[in-house]
Amino acid sequence: MFEFCVLLPMKGNSERVPNKNLKSFGGKPLYHSIVKTLIKSKYITNIVIDTDSENIVKDVQENFGEKVLIIKRPKNIQGDYVSMNEIIAYDLSKVEAEHFIQTHSTNPLLEVETLDFAVEKYVENIDKYDSLFSVTRFQTRFYDKNAKPINHNPNELLRTQDLEPMYEENSNFYIFSKKSFKEADDKRIGLKPQIFEINKLEAVDIDEPEDFQLAELIYMNKNKL
């Protein structure tokens, strides 16, 4: 039986959406949404929040208690220019587990059924792939900054539904093992990854203020149904 530890990194400061992780989302701090989803999973045994913020530590302890383990991020891996893989490497050195899910507080619309299905796909294909990450599928005409077509020929003008799909790494979640992370030179996407498609509504990732507004609108509307 595979057991999974979740890594949920959260910094105190955010450039584009100030105090994003504790910003009210549907009446609760933003990160509460993903933590509640993770707690429902039948495959997750531990949830680890790595943070540099005492305010986040306090809120986690008050609202989730022993359900969440806190790792206080050291100074040398704090700041806006530290890669997520560096933070994951530190967390892996502190946690006794073999298989991990890394997600973000900025994915509040992710459903537990989707995450559990992704875990099942990871386990089912573990002999073929060493990791899994979520993507969003697009079938539309893309151009580069010089208006050069990327994935189509303007002279043919195929229907968009006939174009070869392209997939965006949407940062909703990554599933990997301690072994695959090390073999990929400390990267969450391993040497033999598989992609896992999720729908665009679940995949909303909050980077900009308008993303926050869109996600909250979808969230509040969904909870009215």
Give the amino acid at 8.
L
Asked if residues 68 and 60 have their Cβ atoms less than 8 Å apart, the reply is: yes
pLDDT in the model for residue 224: 59
Give the amino acid at 20.
K
pLDDT in the model for residue 42: 94
Domains and CATH numbers, the chain: 4-224 (3.90.550.10)
pLDDT in the model for residue 163: 82
Torsion region of 156: left, alpha or beta (phi above 0 gives left; psi -120 to 50 gives alpha): alpha
> How many CB atoms neighbour CB 119 within 10 A?
22
Calculate ∠ Cα 130-134-138, nearest 5°: 130
Backbone dihedral angles phi then psi of residue 127, each to the nearest 5 degrees: -80, -15
Hey, which bits of the chain come out as E strands? 4-10, 24-25, 28-29, 44-51, 69-72, 99-103, 131-138, 166-177, 193-197
65-118 pLDDT, tens digit each: 999 999 999 999 998 888 999 999 999 999 999 999 999 999 999 999 999 999
pTM of the model: 0.92
User: In angstroms, rounded to a whole number, what is the distance separating the alpha carbons of residues 187 and 171?
Assistant: 14
Per-residue pLDDT of the chain (225 residues; tens, 9 = 90+): 789 999 999 998 776 677 899 999 999 999 999 999 999 999 999 999 999 999 999 999 999 999 999 999 999 999 888 899 999 999 999 999 999 999 999 999 999 999 999 999 999 999 999 999 999 999 888 888 999 988 888 888 888 787 889 899 999 999 999 999 999 999 999 999 999 999 999 999 998 889 999 999 999 887 654
